[in-house]
Structure 1
């Protein structure tokens, strides 16, 4: 046992910790997984093309576009427009997105940043009341101040410009058709419509609720002609339809009405631009993992976790055991501590990415992990190139959706989109909800210095969205993935990568694993799963444990041995895979 632990923990100093661990602790580390499991959705096996999205109608729309000769980018765009219609609780025209694309023709991974931006008049006191007190999360969401300039349509247009094949207007048609002809209420939409604080806008309530004020049940046919009208403008004008003209004027008017003061301006919308950035890539075992750079913290934090975990032999541990969860949570604490200190909009703050992802730095960070005891709370490190920045508390992150696509020529898109909270700000404009993404900035209040993620004019709030592409040792695309889940997205994606690479699980098995991890707070275990049964074992290792629901929304494409693809959707949501 001691020899195995020394082999597992190859970082200098950790072997001694392993040898001096108590026998009880050693037993806990390899304690067998419990019997309860999330029931997996069967993976879909295809030969050429595949779309995996958070709703079957979105996956069908993507497949329709691929059958017309569209590229992976075209299919992703069509699916994203449908998702904004059929799951307005998670994404839509009033939100933003990040996307990674892969083109084997030029062997280039492109990263597209469609994150929302703050108004030009925003500043550090943006979420303070007139008495100087900080708004609570629910108050901030409903205040109108949480709405950033939407970026979804702009980033989809930028993706189309780079990787599209079919005419832009054709990609809008599947969503337009569904908006006018109708679509059935999904189980997830029905459940979220019934939850407080509810939707108060009269036009939105008339769409989603009956005359007695009850949300329409699962299967009821909804039609959203206002959404179709807005899509008609987008088909004709592209992003300009959202940034100038009647839609932009309505966005400005509704946010000002909700806030009771100026917020977004017409200039804020007109000046919005989606940004193409350099993708972040690093090796993990024999694979190369590429993620989204800042303004998202997703790519760098996933890569940091993997870099820390690469110092340990995770394959020697069961996928769901006290040992695997302990190591994963400790790596998460270290990576999230650095995220909270150093990650923000790179156009406004210096982000020390090379230092944060340097192998020697990650080896040093891994050296803080003990087999015998949880660190409970990690301190941020001091990577090369880091400036003196302060950490600050943030509002919790919420909603989001993800889709993964591959086409017949091997091109791929991983796209994560969000309006932030369920139904965003709940401000309704021309058939869609506006985002509340500005609550992803650090919460206001006294701070000991400059904060990377502080509110600022035209600044993009830090995100956890983590669209990801993975390549094998020969440079071939191996996997396309991402997740919903707010601030836990990073853990969901990292766990799935470990499941595929270290534990050699099938795509369906990887997505059915219990969710677990730490965001540098409690160790979070998904309720009702075999992870929950390990709570006491983790407490014995010093973990503060929180058991609760963890509604991830992973959508995964994995290359089949010998050719073709597997597509798997998270069993916790309404997602589906469609392909040929």
Structure 2
């Protein structure tokens, strides 16, 4: 973080962190949605004394209106502001994190933290109907498969089908199946496995994939296997999008995996430890916590970074930032961002219209088409006739989107996120 800010930013690290320190120190009011979440997670959070001290009071989760005060986190942020990232990897904070992990029989050592290095990678770049798509590279699968699906959908006049018509949903679902099948085989940490990036995002590869898509029948997932992109070679999360007055744009997605990660706070730090090990493939063909299937490319290995679905994305129009978006949602992040791009380009929606539109999701296995409320009964009937196994699910994704138009900036926080907000300065 410190490196990136020094290289790209205009403010010092201490200036950037100061508001966060104040919020942690003085506390933030617990919202209705956070209170409900704490109640759901009570059993997990109550297991750990360091966690319980922050999120529970008298063994009861904090209630709506209570102040969530995180003094240890404020102190950790102060140390980072004063000393930079090394205090985290090779100093007081790191020592406390390692001590906490080893208290629970974990295997991370001080040397592991000390040797950790942030890697800056080139983004995935694609094109859809004349717009440039700039998105996240491996070890996230998000960027590759968004571009892969857009390459397939470019073959169809999506705009003329209508938003969430049976025809538009059908083509999106079939493209999703093919992309998630490839995800299971080819995606992993590029430092450990040869990810055929240029093949997967090749338009020629997409040309071959669309030949397998019927215009009116759902293809059973058990007939779909990962395809061969080689000849074409030339999981709860937070997202925010930011644009400044000069048109500089940032899309950021970060995650602990599940709501509170492992649920364990490293004592004396206020820092929750993640449970990102779930993002590895523990065994080929065995689903993870989001039902995703993985293979040997994403097998557990020392010093390896796990596969994710994070998809912070910037869309350029005439080589200038036009749409900045991203979402939490585990395996549904990829399809949520895909639909945000399609809504914006094919259906000419603004961020509010796009975020308020019902979403669908298909991840190859299990063979089911997930839909939100709001898809018409007639459309569902047609999709069932085509062979889809329809499952109505809870809300999918929580986008934070900014659109840059000649007359100004348009931003919208997904209504699925009750604590999200849009703000201009």
Would you call these one fold, judging by a TM-score over 0.5?
yes
Helix, strand or coil: the match of 2:274? coil
Change (3 A) 1:566 1:402: same
Query: Following the alignment from structure 2 to structure 1, what is the Cα–Cα distance between the partners of residues 3 and 308?
Result: 20
- 4+ runs deviating over 6 angstroms: none
Instruction: Give the alignment partner of residue 56 of structure 2, picking from 209, 213, 218.
Output: 209
What corresponds to 1:100 in structure 2? none
What corresponds to 2:243 in structure 1? 406
Helix, strand or coil: the match of 1:403? strand
Are 1:270 and 2:106 counterparts? no
Change (3 A) 1:459 1:202: same
Instruction: Give the alignment partner of residue 242 of structure 1, picking from 88, 99, 106.
Output: 88
What corresponds to 2:31 in structure 1? 186
Q: Is the 8 A contact 1:352 1:385 kept in 2?
A: no
Change (3 A) 1:253 1:386: farther
What corresponds to 2:385 in structure 1? 540
Query: Following the alignment from structure 1 to structure 2, what is the Cα–Cα distance between the partners of residues 344 and 305?
Result: 19
Are 1:421 and 2:265 counterparts? no
Instruction: Give the alignment partner of residue 354 of structure 1, picking from 173, 198, 206.
Output: 198
Q: Is the 8 A contact 1:485 1:550 kept in 2?
A: no
Q: Is the 8 A contact 2:257 2:276 kept in 1?
A: yes
1:531-551 deviations in Å (ceiling 9; x for gaps): 677433322111122221134
What corresponds to 1:511 in structure 2? 355
Q: Which stretches in structure 2 are left out of the alignment for 5+ residues?
A: 287-293
What corresponds to 1:67 in structure 2? none
Helix, strand or coil: the match of 2:230? coil
Change (3 A) 1:437 1:385: farther
Are 1:366 and 2:238 counterparts? no
1:519-561 deviations in Å (ceiling 9; x for gaps): 113344344333677433322111122221134110000012x
Q: Which has the higher contact order (CA 8 A, sep 6+)?
A: 1
TM-score, length basis structure 2: 0.92
CA drift of 1:161 comes to: 2.4
Are 1:220 and 2:59 counterparts? no
Query: Following the alignment from structure 2 to structure 1, what is the Cα–Cα distance between the partners of residues 179 and 100?
Result: 39
Instruction: Give the alignment partner of residue 476 of structure 1, picking from 293, 313, 320.
Output: 320
TM-score, length basis structure 1: 0.68
Q: Is the 8 A contact 1:326 1:538 kept in 2?
A: yes
Q: Is the 8 A contact 2:202 2:232 kept in 1?
A: no
Q: Is the 8 A contact 1:255 1:427 kept in 2?
A: no
Change (3 A) 1:359 1:335: same
What corresponds to 2:275 in structure 1? 436
CA drift of 1:187 comes to: 2.8
Q: Is the 8 A contact 1:341 1:380 kept in 2?
A: yes
CA drift of 1:503 comes to: 0.8
1:312-356 deviations in Å (ceiling 9; x for gaps): 010111211221111111100011111111011001100111111
Q: Is the 8 A contact 2:281 2:295 kept in 1?
A: no
CA drift of 1:206 comes to: 2.5
Q: Is the 8 A contact 2:362 2:370 kept in 1?
A: no
CA drift of 1:263 comes to: 1.2
Query: Following the alignment from structure 1 to structure 2, what is the Cα–Cα distance between the partners of residues 376 and 184?
Result: 48
Instruction: Give the alignment partner of residue 370 of structure 2, picking from 514, 522, 525.
Output: 525
Query: Following the alignment from structure 2 to structure 1, what is the Cα–Cα distance between the partners of residues 344 and 368?
Result: 22
Aligned residues: 409
Query: Following the alignment from structure 2 to structure 1, what is the Cα–Cα distance between the partners of residues 130 and 62?
Result: 49
Query: Following the alignment from structure 1 to structure 2, what is the Cα–Cα distance between the partners of residues 285 and 519?
Result: 24
Query: Following the alignment from structure 2 to structure 1, what is the Cα–Cα distance between the partners of residues 391 and 357?
Result: 17
CA drift of 1:446 comes to: 8.4
Helix, strand or coil: the match of 2:416? coil
Query: Following the alignment from structure 1 to structure 2, what is the Cα–Cα distance between the partners of residues 166 and 209?
Result: 36
Q: Is the 8 A contact 2:102 2:108 kept in 1?
A: yes
What corresponds to 2:133 in structure 1? 289
What corresponds to 2:289 in structure 1? none
CA drift of 1:163 comes to: 0.9
Instruction: Give the alignment partner of residue 280 of structure 1, picking from 118, 124, 132.
Output: 124
Query: Following the alignment from structure 2 to structure 1, what is the Cα–Cα distance between the partners of residues 57 and 312?
Result: 37
Helix, strand or coil: the match of 1:452? helix
Q: Pairwise mapping of residues 85-96 of structure 1 onto structure 2 (< 5 A)?
A: none
Query: Following the alignment from structure 1 to structure 2, what is the Cα–Cα distance between the partners of residues 326 and 279?
Result: 29
CA drift of 1:160 comes to: 0.6
CA drift of 1:214 comes to: 2.3
Q: Which stretches in structure 1 are left out of the alignment for 5+ residues?
A: 1-155, 388-396
Are 1:253 and 2:99 counterparts? yes
1:474-495 deviations in Å (ceiling 9; x for gaps): 2111011100000110000000
